[in-house]
Amino acid sequence: MSRKKWTSLDKPPLSEPVLEVIQDMNFELMTPVQTATIPLLLARKDVSAEAVTGSGKTLAFIVPLLEILQRRHRETPWLPKEIGAIVISPTRELAIQISEVLETFLQHQKLSFLKQKLVVGGNSIEDDIKTLISDGPHILVCTPGRLEDLFQRKGNLNLAARVKSLEFLVLDEADRLLDLGFKATINNILAYLPRQRRTGLFSATQTTEVTDLIRAGLRNPVLVAVKEKSTINTPIRLQNFYKILEADEKFIALLHFLKSPKANNCKVMVFFPTCACVEYWSDVMPQFLKQRVVLGIHGKMKNKRKNVIERFRKEDKAVLLCTDVLARGLDVPEIDWVVQWDPPSNAASFVHRVGRTARQENEGNALVFLLPNEDAYITFLKINQKVELSPLDDGACSRNELKPTLNKLHKLQAADKGIYDKAVRAFVSHIQAYSKHECNAILRLKDMDLGKAATGYGLLQMPRMPELKTLKADNFIGPTFDVDISKLAYKNIQKEQARLEKVKTYEETGQWPGKKKHKKATESWEQTKKAKMDSKSKKELRKAKKQRKKADEAANGPKAKKRKSQYTQEDLDELANDIRLFKKLKKNKISEEDFNKEMGIDDE
């Protein structure tokens, strides 16, 4: 698609303040998604736009949003209690980013009549309500959960009344909104909004769920799919690399790469599979990269996430360890490399992760670590996502580096039980995440050597986990020095005091505090046979009851009152027991299997 200058829009032309801000931001030409969608939205069409990550979708909806609100203001000025536009994004990071770009425009003198409010989780909803009432914003940038909560709140706010004049709704990263389980929330929000509005839906991929959302939220939409000239789904200026290595070599390979000329002076994002992995490695890695700023961010962090991202933006050579919470929406143009500890849970996430680099026509690089048995993933990505991977040549990483690196990891864990605990949680959570991989036909847990994987995390010993009963773990390398796990101490004073109290209780009672006594799982053959016979007897009793009921209805009619003599005390007790079991099942206090067994539903 040919690119146009921002000043070339003439149906209708962009207003002077909007153009001035765009020029101040050094954007001379429109990107393909902007060229395609902005004229349609200004012509009051509903638009569903599909475009690769980093293609300029934010300006593609902010510019028409401001133009539409200005147009209405010239006819009828906006009142403090009127909300003219809502932008919904899947994560607070993306919402903050959109709000910052929007604020750049609103600082212009001729746009200062418009006010915006950022509404996301992590802060007090009461404070949000007070600000909405006192400031009277005309634009809301929000996450779906918090917005739904505000609509449902009763009181002085009455958000449903404020959106009656809504002109424009934006659903940004719609596919991600649905991936995170916000479908019902979005539908609830749509029910509060007026039908006579413009809606823009922007997504990186078009899924069945997105199509359903288009039908529900857009009226006769124009569908726009903006593809780059190349046949790949990732940005043109992005180079994708892979490196095949053993599981116990991943950490030393990552260190080697970060110290190499390719990445030594670069801003790097490293994706890990779980929050626990980020927690552990962000504690440990600074000990190996003392000349670099190493930051960690994941979905379980709340208010800290904004500060971490701001610091990552400011530091030139920072390394950011993260989960998929940042796979979408983070716009830091200077990111040089995206590294993936292992393939993401699904192929689409691969595209979103690597899309954090090579943004806004900058060049970028991405690297994924693969195990020897995962080499088929290269072909899979080429077929499934049209992504070409090339082998990375950053110099050989010697296995001679493994022993000294492990020794340092072992000493760090031995010196602080807090780090040891994080290491175990990281490893176990990684294995659990890997077992649920969408590409499990290629990435099979049974092909992984858990011993090597645990070595890669520098564990002091193999943890107890069900997978070890059936999978190999022969190549585990433990510490070269003697260590008693039960005597590891926390550096954190409060945690160590709590541990010592538990040790004291254990020495006095023989029971570790907080652990429940488990009944013996095994039972004798006689007990098993008796349980089966009891189950069979109950089943036969229920069958007899049904036959008696049918016979009684045949004789006296279906509405005939049952005689008291029909039921013995044993029958009544059994009925009460059945009701009790059903209530337990409903409250998830017993499993369905146990319920069926107690009710005698299972066959022998």
- Least confident range of 103-107, 137-141, 322-326, 576-580: 576-580
At 25-55, the pLDDT tens digits run: 888 788 889 999 999 999 999 999 988 767 7
At 292-311, the pLDDT tens digits run: 999 999 988 877 888 899 89
Give the pLDDT band of residue 585 (cuts 50, 70, 90).
confident
Beta-carbon contacts of 53 under 8 Å, excluding residues fewer than 6 positions away, are 204, 235, 328, 351, 352, 355, 356, 359
Assess contact for 425 and 276: CB atoms under 8 A. Answer: yes
Determine how β-strand 116-119 pairs with β-strand 238-244.
unpaired
Integer Cα distance of 277 and 426 in angstroms: 4
At 348-378, the pLDDT tens digits run: 889 889 988 887 677 899 999 999 999 999 9
Segment holding 223, helix H or strand E: strand 222-226
At position 458, the amino acid (one-letter code) is G
Terminal Cα distance for the chain, rounded: 68
At position 595, the amino acid (one-letter code) is F
Chain centroid to Cα 70, Å, comes to: 36
- Least confident range of 201-215, 273-287, 451-465, 495-509: 201-215
Beta-carbon contacts of 385 under 8 Å, excluding residues fewer than 6 positions away, are 233, 234, 347, 348, 350, 351
Most confident of 71-75, 83-87, 204-208, 209-213: 83-87
Beta-carbon contacts of 412 under 8 Å, excluding residues fewer than 6 positions away, are 284, 287, 419, 458
Integer Cα distance of 15 and 64 in angstroms: 10
* Domains of the chain, start order: 4-225 (3.40.50.300), 238-402 (3.40.50.300), 404-509 (no CATH), 568-603 (no CATH)
Q: For residue 477, what are its two tokens?
A: 């390398």
Give the pLDDT band of residue 562 (cuts 50, 70, 90).
very low
Beta-bridge mates of residue 367: 241, 339
Strands of the sheet with 47-51, listed across from one edge: 116-119, 139-142, 85-88, 168-171, 198-203, 47-51, 222-226
Segment holding 574, helix H or strand E: helix 569-586
Beta-carbon contacts of 377 under 8 Å, excluding residues fewer than 6 positions away, are 343, 370, 439, 442, 443
Give the pLDDT band of residue 578 (cuts 50, 70, 90).
confident
At 238-269, the pLDDT tens digits run: 999 999 999 999 999 999 999 999 999 999 99
Q: What are phi and psi of 588, to 5 degrees?
A: 60, 30
For the full predicted model, state whether its pTM sits above 0.85: no
Beta-carbon contacts of 98 under 8 Å, excluding residues fewer than 6 positions away, are 58, 62, 87, 89, 141, 172
Segment holding 328, helix H or strand E: none
